[in-house]
Structure 1
Amino acid sequence: MKRTITILALLVVQLIYSQTKNKTADALFDKMYYVEASKSYELSISNGDTSKEIMQRLGDAYYFNTKMTSASKWYGKLIAEYPNEVSAEYLFRYAQSLQGIQNYELAKKWMKAFAEKQKSTDARAKNFSLKNVTLEDIENIKPSFLLENLEINSAYSDFGPMYYKGDLVYSTTVDSSYWKTNKYGWNDQPYLNMQLGKISETQSNVTFKERFGKDITTKYHEACIAFSPDEKTIYFTRNNYNGKLKRDSKGINNLKIFSATATENSNGTVSWKDIKELPFNSDNYSVGHPSVSKDGKKLYFVSDMPGTIGSTDIFVVDILGNNQFSTPKNLGEKINTTGREMFPYITDQALYFSSDGFLGLGGLDVFESRINDGIFDIPANLGAPLNSNRDDFGYIVNEATNKGFVCSNRKTGKGDDDIYAFERSCNQAISGYVFDAISNNRISGAMVTLKNANGIKVAETVSQLDGKYDFNNNVNCNTAYTVEVSKENYNSNTKAIVTANSSGKTEALIGLDPALIARENGVLKIKIGIIFFDLDKSDIRYDAAIELNKVVLLMHQYNNVVIKIESHTDSRANDQYNLELSDRRAKATRDYLISQGVAAERIESAIGYGETQLINNCSNGVPCTYTQHQMNRRSEFIITKM
């Protein structure tokens, strides 16, 4: 962008530059008046000054203004002329500018050179490492966005969309209030203010409605806003100006976040009153790009304050009320890199932001970090066409409708920065792994079948060596499915799931019990054939030993399993007799298992219960068939630990 990339271009931390002989150009550069500075530096070069410092600053003047063709030209000459003297940062910027003109092959070469030179000190090197996601992976992301350029876009900068009362507030350089003739030196455009647009019924277009926020408008920048959930508090980004423009010790006018409160007028309009600086602002660093969590408890923002990992990072504070906030907390290295992280937008499902510190298609790309149990996942590039070889940023979305808005300065736009409406198609996948429910070991070679709500098979696969399975096709969003798993020597299992209503993966982990194990009313039991004993005896017969050896084999296979043995009789014969006989049989069973190598401590108890725990109504005096009585004559092996 011509770097209204949002007024927060001011957040970009520069390298420590050596001064050149062109003091006029240096002064313009230091004030971030890059348009005029680039002209002055080019004049110096035409007059014979081809020093490293001149070419660095000229390349940067174009780079920070998103003039990637010119930036790549001068960075290329800089590296060719001073191959051993330029810092790794210029290899990175050269690679980025090459991506910006879609010279991806050469960009990969210089990104690799950057990684090799900087790998021990810069997280970006890790992000661009060939061990992780490759550029080909990003290019091959299945397109899931349909973009439409909005009618409100002008030949200048239009960006920073935010929902408000069913409409859209956005920042623009068109009609810059009463100070229309003022120009911003960074990109030689008017200063920014806010307007309100009406969103069409299809949410595919926005038309101008009226100016927004006259009460908070100054002759400098106001942009990048957020609202509290009740829309009675606005947070907005402004130059360090509160009646007077302030600069830091280096002469830089930093950015600050302000808040204001809505007051409803008698005619139904809203005025914004009680304008306040947020307490974590500073004259010495910038903060901006606010985004409020859906519960109104947290405020996310961008800053280069102390503790920043890279050029700009995303921070969060707790909103405590009465203009009180917790100490800013950096979101850490999972989200922030040594590059630029900007434009956070938080929903109840994900954090969306733009970055040039992760692998992308050029400039800033939009990334998504899903939220699972309050933890941010590793950010994922959202791919083309949402992202391009230019800057893509300012992403907001309605998670329920999968529609939203994003900004870009791609060449196909109407002007500098344009706002695009998008519809996000929902691409879901189902993945997980199959595991042994007793040992937790992964199971390979299991047949995994995906069925729809009508029981019709949708897809089928086999679990891999690590137990993993994936269904990456034929899966719809917000849809009920059943995953069925079967494997020889295991009981089959099913799991019902409903996929999410946004793109991503739904995880379904499936545990299989060994075929000898059954779950009865939440109790795990080893199920074998009937253990027969001779009349009035407790000796282990040959046919009983065959069944008991199955228990032995299973306990040798699962070394952590602990059991208790329960023996039961039917109601025929004397109650006390049955109790004593079943107890002898339980202990004989225990002794047999021990004789076959099962450690005694793995048998918690061996107790006979006689006819005290019948599983049907065949108690004393009740006429029953042989089969009905047989149901009560049983030995049970109950798993108590595993």
Structure 2
Amino acid sequence: MKKKLHLLIIVTAHLITTVVVAQERLVNKANEQYQDYSFSPAIDIYKRVLEKGYVSADLLKKLGNSYYFNADYDEAAQTYKRLVEEYPADVGPEYYFRYSQTLKTLGNYKDSNDMMAKFMEITTNDMRASAFKDEKDYLDEIRENSGRYDIEQFQYNSPYSDFAPSFYKEGLIFSSDRDTGNLARYRHTWNSKDFLDLYKVDADSISTNTVVKIGEEVNTRLHESTSITTLDGSTLYFTRNNFKDGKYIKDENGVIRLKILSATLSDDGKWTNVNELPFNSDSYSTAHPALSPDEKTLFFASDMPGTLGESDIFRVEINEDGTFGTPENLGKTVNTEARETFPFVTAEEILYFSSDGHPGLGGLDVFATKIKDELFDRSVVNVGGPVNSQMDDFTFIFNEETRKGYFASNRSEGLGADDIYGFLETTPLELDCNQAITGTVRDKISNEVLVGATVKVIDEENKEVSSAITDSEGNYVLSIDCDRGNFVRATMQGYVPSEEYLTKSDGKPRIIDFYLERDRVTAGFGDDLAKLLQLSTIYFDFDKYNIRKDSEIEVEKVIAAMEKYPSLKIKVNSHTDSRGRDSYNLWLSQKRAESTVNYMIAKGISANRLQGEGFGETKLVNGCKNGVRCSAKEHELNRRSEFIIME
């Protein structure tokens, strides 16, 4: 019996070991295909392992990502949900973010916001968290931008994947995995679709109405996609898998990277001189080229060193001799820690791109930002629906002269996996961040409004941008570019200029009132020198008439003025609060006036230039008269001295 039991244990252990080893082999095989971007077979294998009861946080992460990057957001959400619920200690911030994105894509904004809140809890200095904090009402903003486009299906869509339209002559070049002619052996395993090739339509004649594959000089047995041509149609930039001498090249992790290539159109209409761009690499991807209006700058997406997220938008100069400069990241206003990709630049220097890092409706959304003057830190705006949807929306192109354009989406109502849509912009998208600045300019001493004062907007390069003149009520109105830092400066003849610096902002209106100081004191008989010199009030302690230490410096300013102007004569008027008998207050104020005069005489001012008079409680500055309850601070305002200029 013991032998049988022992044998049973051995057999059972062997079977368990065999099953575990088999499961591990399945997982390892799936992991290899995952690293190779072969996500569809990875999904099948991971699912098989899950069905056998073998589960781990790593497996759920990879399966969730496989669904996520194949835009199967329903399955991705279910997988990420299981990851969050079963392995909360192993959920990194990126998985909360992706789970939030999948929920948003499915229209579950409440749970999506909850996951973003979790993401924010465990991240520091992440731009996506900052954007979420700053844009809690981002759906309202997207709704405001929506309804600007009339869209329609592209008549040349197929039941397969059609995307990446680009303007070419009178027509378009686009990417598709419709009949490649390469049979199933060249089927790519990212999403089990055929390899992508470049096609053109209506490019040579408006009446052609046929889709033609670009020649074999460009199209190969791997992926070709996302292209841009120069305005004269002579140079083509396009994306291709890393492919050389008939073989594909993998990086050290076994990943086939993407590269940008160029080609030149020969006189016989064939694409020749197909060359890689010099900043390509076997270690990272460069893809999705776009040109600036002057064709001196190439924009593209990459995960090269210096990338902030999964992929960023970069630019590189194209020199006159055809060489290239050093790629430059567009920075953290455009790029986030997620995906920024598929750039396009219009004639008016508007950069359109797709992102799942900026607040959107779900998946990849199309965003726009103005990059005129090579400034890449202006506001990024979601273009709204119906261009953007809960699914992936990307490869947006636009002709500002005709107000027409195209984009691609994998929304459910399409004909294929991805479809191209045409659109007409009916209302221009507002990209300028204009902030209204209003206010009043006044004299700091008298508080009188200053009519005819000039208020200028000066940028950070110290260049005047705009100006306004105050009206009959001292008011001004200005508008500033709130995507930039600006100085708002008020000036008027006879006054010291005053300014305030405004940082980049959300564009909410601001009120800035200016109180200008006179650049010289011009006084007349009867004026209070305390106001002209902007003295702090000369206060006295309750029931005391000696000058307080904190008031001595103010009296010294009057002495300095009298020393500078030997003919200046001053009458010191002293006042009390209402507490105490009226007769006593009159006596106390007289003593305070005499105390101030004596202090000034002791400091060297001639007695014949000074007078002093006490007014008791007869000239209160507030309503704290006899019988009125007031605070100590309110009573203190009445215990003061004035310095009146005499003839």
Q: Residue in 2 aligned with 1:105?
A: 110
Letter of the 1:148 partner, please give it. E
Q: Residue in 2 aligned with 1:156?
A: 160
Structure of larger gyration radius: 2
- Give yes or no for contact 2:292–2:349 (8 Å, CA) kept in 1: no
Letter of the 1:211 partner, please give it. K
- Give yes or no for contact 2:242–2:257 (8 Å, CA) kept in 1: yes
Q: Residue in 2 aligned with 1:417?
A: 418
Higher helix share: 2
Pairwise CA distance, 1:559 = 2.0
Query: CA 1:81 to 1:291, structure 2 compared with 1: closer, same or farther past 3 Å?
Result: same
The within-5 A match list for 1:213-292 is 213-243=215-245, 244-265=247-268, 270-292=269-291
Are positions 1:48 and 2:53 aligned together? yes
> What is the alpha-carbon root mean square deviation over aligned residues?
4.1
- Give yes or no for contact 2:438–2:478 (8 Å, CA) kept in 1: no
> 2:341, 2:230 → 1: CA distance?
20
Pairwise CA distance, 1:409 = 0.5
- Give yes or no for contact 1:491–1:512 (8 Å, CA) kept in 2: no
- Give yes or no for contact 1:173–1:193 (8 Å, CA) kept in 2: yes
Question: Secondary structure of 1:37's partner?
Answer: helix
Pairwise CA distance, 1:437 = 8.0
Query: CA 1:238 to 1:427, structure 2 compared with 1: closer, same or farther past 3 Å?
Result: closer
Are positions 1:71 and 2:76 aligned together? yes
Q: 1:165 aligns with which of 166, 169, 185?
A: 169
- Give yes or no for contact 1:395–1:404 (8 Å, CA) kept in 2: yes
The within-5 A match list for 1:133-532 is 133-178=137-182, 182-198=186-202, 207-243=209-245, 244-265=247-268, 270-347=269-346, 348-376=348-376, 377-424=378-425, 425-426=427-428, 432-434=436-438, 488-490=472-474
Pairwise CA distance, 1:322 = 4.2
Letter of the 2:328 partner, please give it. K
Query: CA 1:506 to 1:317, structure 2 compared with 1: closer, same or farther past 3 Å?
Result: closer
- Give yes or no for contact 2:437–2:477 (8 Å, CA) kept in 1: no
Question: Secondary structure of 1:285's partner?
Answer: coil
> 1:106, 1:354 → 2: CA distance?
23
Query: CA 1:439 to 1:215, structure 2 compared with 1: closer, same or farther past 3 Å?
Result: farther
- Give yes or no for contact 2:441–2:515 (8 Å, CA) kept in 1: no
Pairwise CA distance, 1:217 = 1.2
Cα displacement string for residues 321-367 of structure 1 (whole angstroms, at most 9, x for unaligned residues):
44411111111111111101000111233111111111111111111
Counting aligned pairs with the same residue, the percent is 34
The size of the alignment, in residue pairs, is: 468
Question: Secondary structure of 1:114's partner?
Answer: helix
> 1:20, 1:51 → 2: CA distance?
15
Question: Secondary structure of 1:42's partner?
Answer: helix
- Give yes or no for contact 1:169–1:197 (8 Å, CA) kept in 2: yes
- Give yes or no for contact 2:440–2:476 (8 Å, CA) kept in 1: no
Question: Secondary structure of 1:22's partner?
Answer: helix
Q: Residue in 2 aligned with 1:541?
A: none
> 1:397, 1:390 → 2: CA distance?
20
Pairwise CA distance, 1:262 = 1.4
> 2:384, 2:482 → 1: CA distance?
16
> 2:523, 2:402 → 1: CA distance?
62
- Give yes or no for contact 1:150–1:206 (8 Å, CA) kept in 2: no
Question: Secondary structure of 1:366's partner?
Answer: strand
Q: Residue in 1 aligned with 2:592?
A: none
Letter of the 1:351 partner, please give it. L
Cα displacement string for residues 529-573 of structure 1 (whole angstroms, at most 9, x for unaligned residues):
xxxxxxxxxxxxxxxxxxxxxxxxxxx96326689xxxxxxxxxx
Question: Secondary structure of 2:299's partner?
Answer: strand
Question: Secondary structure of 2:319's partner?
Answer: strand
Query: CA 1:56 to 1:598, structure 2 compared with 1: closer, same or farther past 3 Å?
Result: closer
Cα displacement string for residues 86-113 of structure 1 (whole angstroms, at most 9, x for unaligned residues):
1121111111111121111111111111
Higher strand share: 1
> 2:115, 2:25 → 1: CA distance?
26
Query: CA 1:492 to 1:126, structure 2 compared with 1: closer, same or farther past 3 Å?
Result: closer
Per the normalisation by structure 1, the TM-score is: 0.65
Cα displacement string for residues 271-322 of structure 1 (whole angstroms, at most 9, x for unaligned residues):
1111111111111111011111110110111111111111001111110144
Cα displacement string for residues 31-71 of structure 1 (whole angstroms, at most 9, x for unaligned residues):
22211211111111111112222222221211111111111
Per the normalisation by structure 2, the TM-score is: 0.65
Letter of the 2:387 partner, please give it. L
Are positions 1:129 and 2:133 aligned together? yes
- Give yes or no for contact 1:366–1:382 (8 Å, CA) kept in 2: yes
Segments of 5+ residues of structure 1 without an aligned counterpart are 1-18, 446-465, 469-482, 498-503, 518-523, 527-555, 564-588, 600-642
- Give yes or no for contact 1:490–1:512 (8 Å, CA) kept in 2: no
> 1:171, 1:282 → 2: CA distance?
23
Segments of 5+ residues of structure 2 without an aligned counterpart are 1-23, 450-454, 458-466, 496-513, 535-647
Question: Secondary structure of 2:341's partner?
Answer: strand
Query: CA 1:105 to 1:437, structure 2 compared with 1: closer, same or farther past 3 Å?
Result: same
> 1:124, 1:506 → 2: CA distance?
19
> 1:207, 1:355 → 2: CA distance?
33
- Give yes or no for contact 1:434–1:512 (8 Å, CA) kept in 2: no
Q: Residue in 1 aligned with 2:85?
A: 80
Q: Residue in 2 aligned with 1:629?
A: none
Query: CA 1:231 to 1:48, structure 2 compared with 1: closer, same or farther past 3 Å?
Result: same
Q: Residue in 2 aligned with 1:96?
A: 101
> 1:356, 1:335 → 2: CA distance?
12
